[in-house]
Amino acid sequence: MTEFLQHLVNGLSVGTIYALIALGYTMVYGVLKLINFAHGDVYMVGAFAGFYLSHALGIDENPSLAKAGVVFVGSMAICATLGVVIERFAYRPLRHRPRLTALITAIGVSFLLEYGFQLPAVVGAGSGTPFPPGPTPRFFPEPFPRVDYEPLGVHISNYDVVSLLTAIGLMFALQYIVYRTKFGTSMRAVSFDSSVAGLMGINVNRVITWTFALGSALAAAAAVLVAGSRPTINPLMGLFPGIKAFVAAVFGGIGNVPGAMVGGLVLGLAEEYVAGYALSSYRDGIAFALLILVLLFKPTGLFGATRAEKV
């Protein structure tokens, strides 16, 4: 029973992280019909943004909740900007080209971030915080002291609690934005038919820009939340979470916001339970097995809908 609950807790923890990242994929796919391969790397940049901010604020010497908050919001802001820049310079010029072109560009941006961050330091070489950080893993400083609890024999730390609550809070906030605000309606309109939305007076470019900003900010949030419990960060850390979050988004129905949240949670729980009870070394493969199952039986995903092509 304890084991079951432990897996539940772990699964939810990791699932909410996948969900936050998956939301970025699904929103961008919704408005642009583009699989943003670079999104996992925006997550990585979020972790590093938090890293640099933490050191700038001197968190390792004087940790405080306020500083933690600044780091959190700060890295979200930095990644939002990054997302906007990427969209503006790499994807927008290709808006009217075949989607394959943009897809390949996305791959290029992804590589650029991954390997650009592995280059030898240009600034601050030899210090604890060089930029680019290089391939060696860095340690994310603890923003507040870690306390472990053991309710019902289940290991959970205050980090896990904060992470879970923050993630859920962010998801509710996003749900509100997408379904209760004018911006959210515009975003959904653009997802449905961007040319018609434009004719209805929606500033499509602005909607797309803000969508990228939102998605990237969520990815950064996820990264900072993860960095609490898993403090090693490196330039390739976005690879696997990125792919898995993407699978989660497809599972929930790519383009569908609640779908991405559900997908993330399902994936997190599936990974925990299957790896825990059965084959632990197959953990990474579970995401893909899930993917294959979805695509074989319901390709549009849990909440997705088929779009018929007009002939």
Residue selected from 109, 162, 171, 218 as contacting another protein according to rule CB under 8 A: 109
Evaluate the CA torsion angle 136, 137, 140, 141 in order and state its sign.
negative
The strand pairing partners of 56, in sequence order, are: none
Work out how close the CB of 247 gets to another protein at its nearest, in angstroms, rounded to a whole number.
7
Q: Which stretch binds another protein (CB under 8 A): 18-26, 59-67, 113-121, 182-190?
A: 113-121
Distance CA 21, CA 253 (A): 15
Separation between Cα atoms, residue 90 and residue 73, nearest integer Å:
25
Binding another protein by CB under 8 A: which of 35, 171, 262, 265? 35
Residue 302 makes contact with another protein by CB under 8 A: no
Give the residue carrying structure tokens 């592995």. 118
Least distance CB 242 / another protein (angstroms): 11
Strand partners, 232: 139
Question: 104 vs 196, which CB is nearer to another protein?
Answer: 104
Q: Which of 87, 114, 160, 272 binds another protein (CB under 8 A)?
A: 114
Q: Of the candidates 46, 49, 35, 101, which has an alpha carbon nearest to the alpha carbon of residue 243? A: 35
- Residue from 85, 153, 295, 298 touching another protein (CB under 8 A): that is 295
φ/ψ (deg, to 5) at 167: -60, -50
* Given 59, 94, 187, 227, the residue binding another protein (CB under 8 A): 94
Which residues, including other chains, have CB under 8 Å from residue 118's CB and lie 6 or more apart? 132, 133, 134, 135, 235, 236
The residue range among 104-112, 184-192, 195-203, 269-277 that interacts with another protein, by the rule CB under 8 A, is 104-112
Q: Which residue has 């941006």 as its token pair?
A: 109
Question: How many CA atoms, within 13 angstroms, populate the side-chain half-sphere of residue 220?
Answer: 27
Name residues contacting another protein, limited to 61-90 (CB under 8 A): 90
Counting contacts by CB under 8 A, is residue 136 touching another protein? no
Contacts to another protein by CB under 8 A: 33, 35, 90, 93-94, 97-105, 107-112, 114-116, 118-120, 243, 246-247, 250, 279, 281-282, 284-285, 288-289, 291-292, 295-296, 299, 308-309, 311
